[in-house]
């Protein structure tokens, strides 16, 4: 009896879904051959040459937003266009209303980046509203993540790329891409900011109120516990999805630290639960003879975001004073005194600079302690005065580029 039951169980929960999924992904792949051919022909690639093409997919639902994240995206697309004529970039976007021409001309006017329309294809998505904050009034993180999984399914139904790169931080799309492509499409991402970090978890745990942790919740033990559990499960799942990527790029040391600590994140009770799920995944991979040995992300690599320097290069240098500008709040950890000592050292070894170099410190004071710190710096400057020429500490200057230029 129990043999029958367990066979039935095996059939219902492993073999049947596995085979159904297999049928689905095979049909998707077959349809994709046709769609891919049609798209490449429409872009002007001769049929005989099409197998040499690589489609690099960028998942960027808000590609027309014109922000810093979009500069990263378009710089990457332009780089691929410059370096390999057989790469076609595919951008998955919800900006169908704008259309290809308008997006390309906005990229030119906003970022001064020229794109070749024959090496760029847009797949427009209808369900972008699913990843908007406003669509999920409660459990926003979870809602947006599930929404992104649906959105990427809509994307891949229209075209499966040869390489998938998420540039907006939708890590929950990684496992969907892996499954729907039957493990054949490598997944990577450029991460600006982690969706959830260990800091957020600590804040709920300590029951501290802030913008994301409303007073009502930080004040109640039961709600706090529920929220903590929710964050904990969410963070665990987020870490698992990150590990589905083959490579991860990050925009800064800060993000690298957070992503690496998520990649190393363990949670004993949840690990036990997920190992059951993992068994099913392995079974699925082995029954279908799918690749199981794809690259693991290891650790995130920093790729600093591109920065427009043309305007600064054009800035004339003639007729200017030699000013060393130091911009930082007057906090203890900034150690402004070190700068004064360094300058004094410079003047000792190179007295010829004493008459033309000036150090200007610009920054805000948060409280009386910061004000006192500035007074201390003034005193230190006077103390080192024997070796220092005129020194300014202007703590009230606003950090506005135009004002700074005028002041200097
Ligand atoms: C736009 O980029 C080109 C080089 O690609 C440069 O020569 C030109 O000065 C840039 N224009 C502006 C307004 O920055
Ligand atoms: C990385 O991205 C985040 C989110 O957009 C941004 O706040 C941060 O300044 C970026 N870091 C760098 C070094 O550009």
Q: Is the pLDDT of residue 399 over 50?
A: no
Tell me the pairing of strands 322-327 and 54-59. Answer: unpaired
Collect all residues with Cβ–Cβ distance below 8 Å to 113 and sequence separation of at least 6.
71, 74, 75, 78, 107
What is the C-alpha to C-alpha distance for residues 331 and 253, in angstroms, rounded to an integer? Answer: 21
Whether the pLDDT of residue 394 is over 80: the answer is: no
Report how far residue 160's alpha carbon sits from residue 35's, in angstroms, rounded to the nearest whole number: 9
pLDDT for 220: 74
Cα 67 to averaged position of ligand 1 atoms, centre (Å): 18
Determine the average pLDDT of the residues in 48-58.
Answer: 93
Residue closest by Cα to atom 6 of ligand 1: 310
- Give the model confidence (pLDDT) of 254-269 as tens digits: 999 999 999 988 888 8
Residues in the chain: 408
Q: What are 219's two structure tokens?
A: 């004040």
In this chain, the answer to whether the domains covering 11-302 and 310-407 adopt an identical fold is: yes
Atom of ligand 1 nearest to the CA of 308: 14
pLDDT given for residue 75 in this prediction: 97
Q: DSSP letters along 308-336, please?
A: --HHHHHS--TT--EEEEEE----GGG-H
Kindly tell me the number of DSSP H helices and DSSP E strands found in the chain: 15, 10
Taking 50 as the threshold, does the pLDDT of residue 401 lie above it? no
Position 397 scores a pLDDT of: 41
Residue 309, pLDDT score = 81
CB burial of 253-289 (b: ≥16 within 10 Å; e: otherwise) equals eebbebbbebbebeeeebeeeeeeeeeeeeebeeeee
Please state the domain extents for the chain: 11-302, 310-407
The answer to whether 364 and 395 are in contact (CB under 8 A) is: yes
Give the whole-number percent of the chain exceeding pLDDT 90. 46
Confidence of residue 13 (pLDDT cuts 50, 70, 90): confident
Distance 400 CA to ligand 2 centre (A): 19
Percentage of residues of the chain with pLDDT beyond 70:
88
Question: Ligand 1 centroid to 137 CA: how many Å?
Answer: 43
Atom of ligand 1 nearest to the CA of 311: 14
195 Cα–ligand 2 center, Å: 13
Higher pLDDT, 179 or 406: 179
The answer to whether the beta carbons of residues 59 and 152 sit under 8 Å apart is yes
Tell me the CATH class for 310-407: alpha beta
Instruction: Tell me the CA–centroid distance for residue 304 and ligand 2, in Å.
Output: 9
Index of the ligand 2 atom closest to the CA of residue 192: 2
Give pLDDT, residue 325: 87
Q: Are 122 and 115 in contact (CB under 8 A)?
A: no
Confidence band for 135, pLDDT divided at 50, 70 and 90:
confident
Of the residues 71, 75, 112, which should be mutated to test ligand 1's pocket, given the most ligand atoms within 8 Å of the CB?
112
pTM recorded for the entire structure: 0.77
Output the CA 88–ligand 1 centroid distance in Å.
24
Q: Which tokens belong to 305? A: 């975001």
CA of 402 to the centre of ligand 1 (A): 21
Residue 363 has pLDDT above 80, yes or no: yes
Is-contact 63 73, C-beta < 8 A? yes
pLDDT higher than 50, residue 167 = yes
Which mutation among 67, 68, 258 tests ligand 2's pocket best, with the greatest number of atoms within 8 A of CB? 68
Nearest atom in ligand 1 to the alpha carbon of residue 114 is: 5
In this prediction, residue 2 carries a pLDDT of 74
Assess whether the C-beta atom of 252 lies below 6 angstroms from ligand 2: yes
Please state the rounded mean pLDDT for residues 223-233. Answer: 86
Ligand nearest to the CA of 110: 1
Which pair of structure tokens corresponds to residue 253? 């040391």
Query: Closest Cα to atom 9, ligand 1: which residue?
Result: 310
In terms of Cα–Cα distance, which of 121, 107, 106 is closest to 42?
121
Q: Taking all residues of the chain, what is their mean pLDDT, rounded to a whole number?
A: 85
Q: Which residues line ligand 1 (CB under 6 A)?
A: 112, 310
pLDDT at 138: 85
Over residues 130-146, the mean pLDDT reads 89
Ligand 1 atom closest to residue 112's alpha carbon, by position in its atom list: 1
Report phi then psi at 247, rounded to 5: -150, 150
List the Cα angle 151/154/159 in 5-degree steps. 125
**In the predicted structure, residue 8 carries a pLDDT above the cut 90:** no
**Rounded-to-integer distance, Cα 224 and Cα 206, Å:** 9
**The predicted structure's pLDDT at residue 390:** 45
Q: Categorise residue 112: left if φ over 0, alpha if ψ from -120 to 50, beta otherwise.
A: left
Residue 398 has a pLDDT of 39
The conformational region for residue 4 under phi > 0 = left, psi -120 to 50 = alpha, else beta, is alpha
The pLDDT of 276-304, averaged and rounded, is 77
The reply to whether ligand 2 has any atom less than 6 angstroms from the CB of 331 is no
Give yes or no for residue 362 having a pLDDT over 50: yes
Predicted confidence band at 64 (pLDDT cuts at 50, 70, 90)?
very high
Asked if residue 288 has pLDDT above 90, the reply is no
Across residues 398-407, what is the average pLDDT? 48
Question: How many angstroms separate the CA atoms of 361 and 351, rounded?
Answer: 21
State which of 248-262, 331-345, 360-374, 381-395 shows the largest mean pLDDT. 248-262
pLDDT at 400: 44
Which ligand is nearest the CA of 314, by number? 1
What is the average pLDDT across 67-85? 95
- Among all bound ligands, the one having the nearest atom to the CA of 306 is 2
Instruction: Check if 193 has its Cβ closer than 6 Å to any atom of ligand 2.
Output: yes
pLDDT confidence band for 25 (50 / 70 / 90): very high
pLDDT winner (highest mean) among 2-11, 248-257, 263-272, 274-283: 248-257
Res 289 pLDDT > 50: yes
Most confident by average pLDDT, 158-162, 285-289, 340-344: 158-162
Nearest CA, atom 11, ligand 1: 112
Ligand 2 midpoint to CA 167 (Å):
13
- Protein residue with its CA nearest to atom 7 in ligand 1: 310
Query: Domain spanning 11-302 has what CATH number?
Result: 3.40.50
3-state DSSP: the chain helix, strand, coil percent, rounded to 5?
A: 55, 10, 30
Q: For a pocket test of ligand 1, which of 110, 115, 308, 310 has the largest count of ligand atoms closer than 8 A to its C-beta?
A: 310
């Amino acid at each position: 009896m129990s043999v029958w039951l367990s066979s039935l169980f095996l059939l219902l929960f492993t073999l049947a879904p596995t085979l159904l999924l297999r049928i689905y992904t095979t049909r998707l792949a077959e349809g994709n051959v046709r769609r891919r051919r049609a798209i490449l022909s429409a872009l002007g690639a001769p049929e005989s040459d099409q197998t040499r093409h690589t489609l690099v997919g960028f998942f960027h639902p808000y590609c027309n937003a014109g922000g810093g994240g979009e500069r990263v995206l378009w710089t990457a697309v332009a780089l691929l266009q410059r370096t390999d004529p057989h790469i076609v970039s595919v951008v998955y976007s919800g900006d169908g209303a704008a259309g290809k021409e308008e997006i390309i001309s906005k990229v030119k006017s906003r970022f001064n980046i020229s794109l070749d329309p024959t090496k760029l294809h847009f797949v427009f998505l209808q369900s972008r509203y699913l990843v908007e904050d406003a669509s999920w009034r409660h459990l926003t993180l979870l809602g947006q993540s599930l929404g992104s999984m649906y959105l990427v399914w809509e994307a891949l139904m229209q075209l499966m790329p040869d390489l998938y790169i998420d540039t907006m931080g939708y890590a929950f799309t990684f496992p969907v891409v892996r499954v729907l492509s039957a493990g054949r499409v490598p997944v990577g991402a450029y991460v600006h900011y982690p969706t959830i970090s260990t800091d957020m978890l600590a804040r709920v745990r300590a029951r501290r109120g802030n913008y994301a942790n409303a007073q009502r919740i930080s004040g109640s033990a039961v709600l706090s516990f529920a929220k903590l559990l929710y964050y904990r499960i969410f963070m665990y799942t987020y870490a698992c999805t990150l590990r589905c990527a083959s490579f991860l790029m990050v925009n800064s040391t800060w993000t690298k630290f957070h992503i690496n600590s998520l990649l190393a994140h363990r949670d004993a009770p949840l690990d036990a639960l997920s190992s059951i799920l993992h068994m099913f995944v392995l079974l699925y991979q082995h029954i279908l003879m799918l690749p199981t040995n794809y690259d693991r992300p290891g650790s995130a690599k920093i790729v600093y975001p591109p920065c427009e320097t043309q305007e600064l290069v054009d800035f004339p240098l003639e007729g200017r004073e030699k000013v060393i500008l130091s911009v930082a709040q007057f906090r203890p950890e900034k150690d402004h005194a070190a700068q004064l000592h360094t300058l004094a050292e410079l003047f000792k070894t190179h007295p010829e600079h004493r008459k033309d170099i000036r150090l200007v410190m610009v920054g805000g004071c948060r409280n009386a302690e910061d004000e006192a710190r500035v007074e201390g710096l003034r005193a230190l400057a006077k103390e080192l005065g024997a070796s220092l020429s005129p020194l300014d500490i202007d703590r009230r200057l606003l950090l506005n580029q135009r004002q700074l230029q005028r002041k200097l």
